[in-house]
Amino acid sequence: MRSSTEGTLAEALDGRHAVRLEEVVLAQAFRFEALLNVLERQSVIEKAEILEEIKRLQANTPKATYSKEGRRNGWSPSTGRCPR
């Protein structure tokens, strides 16, 4: 029996070939939508609840900003860290 990732994205990420960001994002979107559809059909959750939670998370997440030096939210390319 094959696993759900056999011969798919997991194989591609094993370093054998590159995967475009668009492909990864689209694959994740399909998986997320499929999961929501199944949960909604089984009356576990309603999509409206998920959308409310997404909006809540987005409202509580700081937006990325760039400084004159091109650093994002204080991130330093030389150290790879944000100041604390």
pTM above 0.85, yes or no: no
- In tens, the pLDDT along 17-53 reads 777 889 999 999 999 999 999 999 999 999 899 889 9
Q: Which residues of 45-61 are buried (b: 16+ CB within 10 A; e: fewer)?
A: eeeeeeeeeeeeeeeee
pLDDT score of 57 more than 60: yes
pLDDT for res 78: 59
* Helix, coil or strand: residue 62: coil
